[in-house]
Amino acid sequence: MQKLVIGSLAALALGIGAAHAAPLKVGTVAGPETDVMQVAVDIAEERHDLDVEIVEFTDYVTPNAALADGSLDANAFQHEPYMQSMVNDRGYDFAVAGYTFVYPIGAYSEKYDSIEALPDGARIALPNDPSNEGRSLILMHNKGLIELNDPTNLEATPIDIADNPHDFNFREIEAAQLPRVLPDVDMAFINNTFAQPAGLSLDDALIKEGPESPYVNLIVVRSGDEDREDIRQLVDAYQSEAVMEKADELFKGAAVPGWTE
């Protein structure tokens, strides 16, 4: 009996050790945001002896599916309006573990140097995910380019436009493809996630959000995991001076910290 108890305790100890040895998997979208997360990963290892593995994605849908099915422990790529739209549409049970940065969205053009030069009937490409499309249209509304039925509707689409005085022609495109279609349209709204790798600077945007934007990005986990020690350690490592400096270097001042120091 004594040997059985000792053996069981040893097996349990091995199990705990194995579980502890498994890396924390966090999903990011490939590009500069992944480079920023890598700094947080290095800090987490140094500060907390935490093993973190970054899993890169090239779209905005798969990281949430992977989090929901347990392939990831966390992801860091989305703002709250987008997360809520995915929760509502797909029934995900997610929670916010921490805040990262606001990455202001901008409208870019290879044909025109100012928003005033944009002609009537211009072809405008919008990201086709629910919240970022609404985000783009709200920005156009706020700039007086269109009038929305409800400018507080974060999931507005072109059918919610009450007045389109310049007869703009809208095209809904997957966010990752927007830099590629930029030469074929007159203007495109592109998130910094995809604008920066394409060589686009927010300083060159015809219109852009300011630092007051409510679209702060998040570290998202499954509900109940937000208080896990390893998740708290990851958030602590991310919300650090070194991460802020890396984001400032990569985004040229276009990444605004979304947490309170």
pLDDT tens-digit map of 49-64: 999 999 999 999 999 9
Dump the DSSP string for 207-260. EE--TT-S-EEEEEEETT-TT-HHHHHHHHHHSSHHHHHHHHHHHTT--EE-S-
Q: Say how many Å lie between the first and final Cα of the chain, rounded.
A: 55
Confidence of residue 212 (pLDDT cuts 50, 70, 90): low
Q: How large is the average pLDDT for residues 134-157?
A: 94
Q: Which residue has the higher pLDDT, 7 or 211?
A: 211
Tokens matching residue 137: 């249209």
pLDDT tens-digit map of 233-249: 999 999 999 999 999 99
> Cα separation of 73 and 39, whole Å?
18
**Is the model's pLDDT at 13 over the cut of 60?**
no
